[in-house]
Structure 1
Amino acid sequence: MVLEVVSTGGTIASTGDSGSGVEPELSGDNLVADIPELEDIADVRTRDFSNIPSPHFSIDRMWELSQTVRKLDADPDVEGVIVTHGTDILEETAYFLDLTYGGETPVVFTGAMRNPSLQSPDGPVNLLTSARAAVDADARGRGVLVAFNERVHPARDVTKVHSTNVDTFRSPESGPLGVIDETRVTWLRRREESSPTLDPDAAQLTNAVHAVTVTADMNPAQIRAAGDAAALCFAATGAGHIPPSIVDPLFDLKDDDIPLIATTRCPEGRLARRTYGFRGSEATLKELDCYFSPLNLQKTRIAAVLGVGTDSLESLFEQP
C-alpha cells in the first residue's frame, strides 16, 4: 500500500530565519523523514510538486496539481494521496481539486501553522492525521479532505478562521467529518452534498473573475472595476443586502452580460430568498439575475473560475 505525499511548499516546508524570516525550502523527503510512525501506516512515497508560499499559487498551478493527482489516481499501487500546502489559500486549492479531481483515491490536504524551526511544530501531527485519513477505507466517497489538528474536514466546508493559531481550520456550521481517536479515524458524518466534477480546457481558465466584499457606503468604483471581468463575485451583508450606491453599477454589469454571483459575508448562513423587499435587498439580487452561492467568497470565486471556464455556472450555483 503506497501513500503518495505531494509537497507544494508553505509553512510546513519552511526553514531558515536568520533574521529575515523563514521561506519554503524543505522537500517531501525532509517532511516525512522525522515521522517514523508513517512507516506503520503505509509505504510512503514523496513527490516535490513545488516549493512556494501558498499565496504564490495561481489558477494554472491548481490545474496542474489537479492533473498530477489524477495521474496518481490511475496508479493501482497508490491507496491515498496527501498534499502538503501553505495554509493561506489551502482551502481554495483544495476546493479547486474537489471540483476537478473526481477520482476514487482519497486526497487529503494538510500543512502547518508553526514552521519546523519553532518549538512544537504542528506539521508532523498534521501529516500523521492526513495519513490515517487517507488510507482509511471509509475515506472514499467523501470528496477532497483537509486534515488539521486531528480533525478531518470536507474541502467544500472548511475555512481558515485564525491567522496564526494551530486550531485554525474549521467547518463553521457543519463541523468536521471525522476526528482522530488515538491512532484511528472516527467518522462523525458523511458530506451532505457532492460537488460536480468539471473537466475544463486549461486554456479557458482565467483569473479575471473579480471578488469584492460589500461594506457600508461602498464606493461604486469597486463595482465598476469589474467592467472587463469574466464574472463578479461579491459577498453581500447579512442575508443578501447591498447599499444603494452599488445597485446601479451592478445593473450596468448585468446589461453587459457579466455574470454576477452573490454570497454572504457572514461566516455562517445563506442568502435569503423572499424576506426583504427594499432596494438593495435579496429582491434586488434576484432582479439582477444573480447566481446565489452557499460558499464563502474565496470558494465562490474558485467555483466561478471553473464555471466560467466550462460554461456551467448553473451547475454550481442557484438562480432563484
Structure 2
Amino acid sequence: MHIKKCFTAIFISSAFLSAGLVNSHAAEAPVQQQKVAKPNVVILATGGTIAGSAASNTQMTGYKAGALGIDVLLQAVPEIHKVANVKGEQISNIGSESMNNKIWLKLAKRINELLAKPDVDGIVITHGTDTLEETAYFLNLVIKSDKPVVIIGAMRPATAISADGPVNILNAVNLAASKDAKGRGVLIAMNDNINGARDVQKTNTLRVDTFQSPELGYLGYFENGRPVFYKATTRKHTIDTEFDVSNLNDLPRVDIIYSHVNDDGRMAEAAVANGAKGIVHAGTGNGSIHEAAEPALYDAAKKGIVVVRSARVPNGPTIESTAAWDKAGFVHAGTLNPQKARILLQLGLTKTNDPQKISEMFKQY
C-alpha cells in the first residue's frame, strides 16, 4: 500500500511537475468549449507503458506495464475535465505485446455500444505501443460510428520524470471532443501528431516520436493543444466497411511468415498443419518469394488457404506481378504492412475465403 501511494504521488506530482506546460495547453482550449455544454468522452484503458510503473523516475526500460488503473490516469491529468465530461473504464491491464482476439472483440463491442448512445461524443483508448498500430487498424475496420475514436500510448512509464503520457491523454481528449475529428476513422494522437490508423507505424523502439506514417504522412497536428487537420484518408473505414463483429467470439487464424535467405517453406507447412485459414507472406523486395518456399505456398492455396503477399520492406506497395504467384491466386497487400495485412485478412475471412473477393477488400481498405 505504501509503495502504491508513493507511486501515485510520483505519477501525479513528479511526472506531471511540468503541469505548467499542460495547463498552458488547457488554457488555450477554444473559448466556445467553455461557453457551451462540454462533450462527453469515455476513456477505455487496456494497460501498456502509459500505465507503467518503474522503480525510479529515471528508469525508462524494464518497468511493469499496465500497473496503474484508469482512475489514477484520470486523476493525474485534471485539465481534461476543462475540455470534456470524462469518465473511464478498465477493459484490460496488460502489456500490449500480449494483446489477443478476445480483448480486441471486447473492446470493439464496448466502443460500438458506447458510441450508439446519444450522450457519448467520443472515445479515447489508452494502449501499449507494441501493438497499438494493429489495434488501431482493427478498430478502424469494425467500429460502426463516425464519432471520434482516438487511441494513445506512451513510450515512457508513468513514473518517469519526462513521462509523455500526460500530454498524450490531454491531446486525445481534445481530439475526441473535437467535431473536426468526426468521420476520419480511428486516430492516433501522440507526440503532438495526428496519424490515421491505416498508415501509422511504430518506427523506433525507444523514441517518443516513434509513431509516424512514413510515406503517406500525418493527418494533422496539435497546435497549442488544438487539433488541426491537413489531410484525410481515401480508404474506406468504420461505418463504410462490411465487417461486423457483434456476433463474433473469435477471429480466423492467420499466420505471418517472414521470408529470409535459405527460406524453405517449412513455416508455411507448419501454418497449414496448425489450422491457419490464411497466410501473410512477408516477402523480400516487392513481396518476393524464395523459390524453395513457393511449393508450400502453392500447396496451401490449393487447399483453400488464402495467401497474401506482403513485404518486409517498411515502405512501398506490394503490387501485382507477372509471376506464377498471380496465377496461384495470391492476394497483394498494397501498402499494408504484414501485421495490418493479417488483420484485414482475418476480417475478410469472416465473410469469404474467395481470394478474388478478398483481393477487392485489399483495394478498398
TM-score, normalisation: structure 2: 0.81
AA of the residue aligned to 1:128 = L
The DSSP-based 3-state class of the residue aligned with 1:226 is helix
- What displacement does 1:246 show? 0.7
**What does 1:119-198 align with in structure 2 at a 5 Å threshold?**
119-195=161-237, 196-198=241-243
- C-alpha spacing 1:197/1:123, structure 2 compared with 1 (3 Å): farther
2:142 equivalent in structure 1: 100
Figure out how many residues of one structure are paired with residues of the other and give that number: 311
- What displacement does 1:73 show? 0.4
AA of the residue aligned to 1:12 = I
The DSSP-based 3-state class of the residue aligned with 2:280 is strand
1:304 equivalent in structure 2: 345
Q: Deviations over 1:116-149 (max 9, x none)?
A: 1111100001111211211111111110111110
Asked if 1:77 is matched to 2:119, the reply is yes
2:3 equivalent in structure 1: none
Worse-matched range after superposition: 106-115 or 56-65: 56-65
Runs ≥4 residues deviating over 6 A = none
C-alpha contact 2:49 2:154 (8 A) present in aligned 1: yes
**One of 283, 286, 307 as aligned partner of 2:326:** 286
Structure 2: which 5+ runs fail to align?
Answer: 1-38
Q: Deviations over 1:19-63 (max 9, x none)?
A: 973231211121121223212211111111111111221112101
Asked if 1:229 is matched to 2:276, the reply is yes
The DSSP-based 3-state class of the residue aligned with 2:156 is coil
The DSSP-based 3-state class of the residue aligned with 1:244 is coil
C-alpha contact 1:154 1:191 (8 A) present in aligned 2: yes
2:188 and 2:215 map into 1 onto residues whose CA distance is 16
2:298 equivalent in structure 1: 251
1:242 equivalent in structure 2: 289
1:153 and 1:197 map into 2 onto residues whose CA distance is 23
**One of 199, 207, 220 as aligned partner of 2:265:** 220
- C-alpha spacing 1:231/1:316, structure 2 compared with 1 (3 Å): same
1:51 and 1:258 map into 2 onto residues whose CA distance is 34
AA of the residue aligned to 1:291 = V
Q: Deviations over 1:154-180 (max 9, x none)?
A: 111101111111111011111111101
C-alpha contact 1:6 1:46 (8 A) present in aligned 2: yes
1:74 and 1:273 map into 2 onto residues whose CA distance is 40
Q: Deviations over 1:261-309 (max 9, x none)?
A: 11122111112334xx5xxxxx232022011112100011111111112
1:280 equivalent in structure 2: none
1:271 and 1:97 map into 2 onto residues whose CA distance is 23
| CA radius of gyration, larger in | 2
**One of 179, 192, 199 as aligned partner of 2:244:** 199
- What displacement does 1:72 show? 1.0
- What displacement does 1:217 show? 2.2
AA of the residue aligned to 2:347 = L
Q: CA RMSD in A?
A: 1.9
Worse-matched range after superposition: 31-40 or 229-238: 31-40
The DSSP-based 3-state class of the residue aligned with 1:60 is helix
Q: Deviations over 1:54-112 (max 9, x none)?
A: 12211121011000000110121111110000110111111111111121221000011
AA of the residue aligned to 1:4 = V
- What displacement does 1:318 show? 5.0
Worse-matched range after superposition: 4-13 or 197-206: 197-206
Asked if 1:271 is matched to 2:311, the reply is no
1:169 and 1:157 map into 2 onto residues whose CA distance is 10
- Identity within the alignment, %: 34
Asked if 1:15 is matched to 2:53, the reply is yes
- C-alpha spacing 1:147/1:247, structure 2 compared with 1 (3 Å): same
2:66 and 2:320 map into 1 onto residues whose CA distance is 45
The DSSP-based 3-state class of the residue aligned with 2:146 is coil
Greater share of residues in strand: 1
